[in-house]
């Protein structure tokens, strides 16, 4: 028997970590305070996307963010807040939003996303897995010349990084999507992006892990840690005390508060996003981002999903109906034949993206605790980076050679 490992959090990061540790013969336990059926890992757009190598903290975003603070319908909303943790995060976010750092981190994110894409495909080949995983690329759809210009700048950067992108004309849009009327003037197409249906993969992964003897405790909250000589001896939940050799912090947007208990100050804010779906046959076949509105459209298994907004307003699942309405309106503006019904809009769900200031996840062992591995802060790329993170964390815990250089992701990195 390899090590005994307890993972805090059963989202995509926690489950993927359990998958690779179990394969290595570890005895794995997952504890999650939710029903393990909702949240970011279920409501996301399902993109497995090397095209997203530019983080939220991109040059210019701070200026837009300040402007958008006053606009309840903007795609990015930052709630003004005097909380110390938020101010420190905002300071680091502002520092990270420079083109030198963004270009440097783009290389890390490119390599990490491609690594994780390959692992998704390896998992898919296993007998117990049949989740939707399509390789149809990603279209950035524009309605204005101004937006198209911005996307073309990203296209140039993408091609310099070998993330293949090409410009699409209005006529080509019609050829790419013959079954739906599109109100757009063109865009940029990333041919190497993939997509999947999140709930399919999550359900199958949970069933797989259970069949392999992974212990799963849902609706159970980790409250504290018992420490012994600089190491964690056990975690205390609201129901029991769990002893292990190693622990993994995969609790997404909730990780910062838990990390304080082991002496680690993790800069992290929750970025809320909403998603809605329709079973109506939309005719959309290619995952598409409505570029001005920043709404992600995904043709999933049996439905089309629309996801959007980045609301930095604390760790909560409150629904802002005004923003939800803005997403639904944007969908109709780009696809005149789609009008989401009242019941589809009311069935909206939300999830919290765990945002680090620089858009890179936190992966590694903090200086303050040698048997805890942090695996949080994956921001807009948590779905994409799930399997890759799981593999890297398993290698770290088992002292194996790392498949990628994980030093850029260290949880004690300075901003
Ligand atoms: C609308 C939307 C669209 C998105 N689209 C994409 C996309 O297309 N592609 C992409 O790559 N990413 C996307 N993302 C981002 C991605 O979904 C997230 O980065 C990812 O799901 C985070 O996974 P996680 O496992 O770290 O966190 P979570 O899924 O939030 O899981 C953390 C878990 O920890 C549990 N937990 C918290 N505190 C405790 C505690 N004290 N004790 C026990 N358990 C605890 C929670 O209950 C939760 O289940 C999107 C996100 C949103 C919201």
One digit per residue, the tens of pLDDT, for the chain of length 415 reads 789 999 999 999 999 999 999 999 999 999 999 999 999 999 999 999 999 998 887 777 777 766 766 676 788 888 888 999 999 999 999 999 888 998 999 999 999 999 999 999 999 999 999 999 999 999 999 999 999 999 999 999 999 999 999 999 999 999 999 999 999 999 999 999 999 999 999 999 999 999 999 999 999 999 999 999 889 999 999 999 999 999 999 999 999 999 999 999 999 999 999 999 999 999 999 999 999 999 999 999 999 999 999 999 999 999 999 999 999 999 999 999 999 999 999 999 999 999 999 999 999 999 999 999 999 999 999 999 999 999 999 999 999 999 999 999 999 999 9
Q: Considering its fold, how many domains does the chain have in total?
A: 1
Q: Does residue 249 have its Cβ closer than 6 Å to ligand 1?
A: no
Q: 22 vs 12, 26, 209, 215, 415, CA distance in Å?
A: 15, 5, 8, 11, 34
Q: Report which of 30, 2, 5 is spatially closest to residue 222, judged by C-alpha positions.
A: 30
Q: How far is CA 156 from the centre of its chain?
A: 24
Beta bridge partners of 151: none
Distance 266 CA to ligand 1 centre (A): 16
Pairing type for strands 269-278 and 349-355 reads antiparallel
- Assess contact for 189 and 166: CB atoms under 8 A: yes
The token pair at 176 is 């790419």
Tell whether 347 is covered by a domain: yes
The token pair at 347 is 């069935």
Distance 23 CA to ligand 1 centre (A): 23
Tell whether 386 is covered by a domain: yes
Distance 273 CA to ligand 1 centre (A): 11
Tell whether 112 is covered by a domain: yes
- Assess contact for 129 and 123: CB atoms under 8 A: yes
Q: Does residue 222 have its Cβ closer than 6 Å to ligand 1?
A: yes
- Assess contact for 251 and 375: CB atoms under 8 A: no
Q: Does residue 305 have its Cβ closer than 6 Å to ligand 1?
A: no
- Assess contact for 102 and 57: CB atoms under 8 A: yes
Distance 175 CA to ligand 1 centre (A): 35
Q: Considering Cα of 262, then 264, then 270, then 275, what sign does the dihedral take?
A: negative
Planar angle of CA 109, 112, 116, nearest 5 degrees:
135
> What CA–CA distance (Å, rounded) separates 52 from 165?
12
Q: Does residue 55 have its Cβ closer than 6 Å to ligand 1?
A: no
Q: What global pTM score does this model have? A: 0.97
Distance 92 CA to ligand 1 centre (A): 22
Q: Considering Cα of 79, then 81, then 86, then 88, what sign does the dihedral take?
A: positive
Tell whether 329 is covered by a domain: yes
Which residues touch 60 (CB under 8 Å, ≥6 apart)?
97
> What CA–CA distance (Å, rounded) separates 368 from 227?
11
Please state, as a whole number, how many other Cβ atoms lie within 10 Å of the Cβ of residue 20: 23
Which residues touch 133 (CB under 8 Å, ≥6 apart)?
48, 120, 121, 124, 194, 195, 196
Residue nearest atom 31 in ligand 1 by C-alpha distance: 11
What pLDDT, on the 0 to 100 scale, is given for residue 69?
A: 66
- Give residue 145's domain range: 4-409
Distance 371 CA to ligand 1 centre (A): 23
SS3 content of the chain, % helix, strand, coil (to 5): 35, 25, 40
> What CA–CA distance (Å, rounded) separates 40 from 199?
11
Tell whether 13 is covered by a domain: yes
Q: Does residue 33 have its Cβ closer than 6 Å to ligand 1?
A: yes
Q: Report which of 145, 372, 349 is spatially closest to residue 248, judged by C-alpha positions.
A: 372
> What CA–CA distance (Å, rounded) separates 241 from 122?
35
What pLDDT, on the 0 to 100 scale, is given for residue 370?
A: 94
Pocket test of ligand 1: the residue of 15, 383, 386 to mutate, having most ligand atoms within 8 Å of its CB, is 383
The pairs formed by 21-26 with CB atoms below 8 angstroms and a separation of 24 or more are 21/390, 21/393, 21/394, 21/397, 21/398, 22/209, 22/212, 22/213, 22/214, 23/394, 24/394, 24/398, 25/1, 26/1, 26/2, 26/394, 26/397, 26/398
Distance 380 CA to ligand 1 centre (A): 10
Tell whether 54 is covered by a domain: yes
Residue nearest atom 21 in ligand 1 by C-alpha distance: 41
DSSP-assigned states of every residue in 304-341 = EEEEEEEEES-S-----HHHHHHHHHHHHHHSTT----
* Ligand 1, atom nearest to 380 Cα: 15
Tell whether 388 is covered by a domain: yes
Q: Does residue 15 have its Cβ closer than 6 Å to ligand 1?
A: no
* Largest Cα span, the chain: 67
> What CA–CA distance (Å, rounded) separates 187 from 309?
20
Exposure class string for 175-192: b at 16+ Cβ within 10 A, else e: ebbeebebebbbbbbbeb
Pocket test of ligand 1: the residue of 41, 250, 253, 390 to mutate, having most ligand atoms within 8 Å of its CB, is 41
Tell whether 91 is covered by a domain: yes
Q: CATH number of the domain that 160 lies in? A: 3.50.50.60
- Assess contact for 298 and 44: CB atoms under 8 A: no
């Amino acid at each position: 028997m390899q090590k005994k490992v307890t993972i805090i959090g059963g989202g995509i990061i926690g489950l993927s970590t359990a998958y690779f540790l179990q394969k290595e013969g570890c005895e794995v336990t997952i504890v999650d305070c939710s029903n393990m059926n909702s949240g970011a890992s279920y409501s996301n757009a399902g993109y497995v996307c090397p095209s997203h190598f530019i983080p939220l903290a991109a040059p210019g975003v701070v200026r837009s963010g300040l402007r958008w603070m006053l606009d309840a319908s903007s795609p990015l909303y930052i709630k003004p807040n005097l909380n110390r943790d938020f101010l420190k995060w905002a300071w680091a976010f502002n520092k990270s939003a420079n083109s030198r750092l963004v270009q440097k981190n783009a290389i890390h994110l490119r390599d990490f996303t491609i690594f994780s894409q390959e692992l998704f495909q390896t998992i898919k080949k296993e007998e117990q897995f049949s989740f939707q995983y399509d390789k149809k690329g990603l279209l950035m759809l524009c309605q204005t010349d101004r937006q198209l210009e911005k996307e073309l700048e990203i296209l140039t950067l993408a091609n310099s990084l070998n993330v293949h992108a090409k410009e699409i004309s209005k006529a080509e849009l019609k050829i790419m999507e013959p079954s739906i009327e599109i109100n757009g003037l063109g865009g940029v197409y990333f041919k190497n992006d993939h997509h999947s249906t999140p709930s399919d993969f999550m359900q199958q992964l949970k069933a797989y892990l259970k069949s392999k003897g992974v212990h799963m405790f849902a609706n159970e909250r980790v409250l504290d840690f018992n420490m012994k000589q600089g190491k964690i001896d056990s975690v205390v939940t609201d129901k029991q005390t769990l002893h292990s050799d190693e622990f993994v912090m995969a609790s997404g947007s909730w990780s910062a508060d838990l990390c304080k208990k082991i002496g680690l100050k993790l800069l992290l804010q929750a970025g809320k996003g909403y998603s809605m779906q329709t079973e109506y046959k939309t005719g959309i076949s290619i995952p598409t981002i409505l570029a001005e509105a920043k709404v992600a459209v995904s043709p999933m298994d049996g439905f089309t999903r629309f996801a959007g907004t980045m609301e930095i307003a604390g760790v909560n699942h409150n629904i802002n109906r005004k923003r939800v309405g803005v997403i639904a309106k944007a969908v109709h503006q780009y696809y005149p034949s789609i009008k989401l019904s009242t019941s589809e809009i009311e069935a909206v769900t939300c999830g919290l993206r765990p945002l680090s200031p620089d858009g890179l996840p936190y992966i590694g062992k903090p200086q303050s605790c040698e048997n805890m591995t942090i695996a949080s802060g994956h921001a807009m790329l948590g779905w994409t980076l799930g399997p890759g993170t799981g593999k890297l964390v398993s290698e770290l815990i088992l002292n194996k050679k790392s498949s990628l250089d994980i030093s850029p992701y260290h949880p004690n990195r300075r901003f």
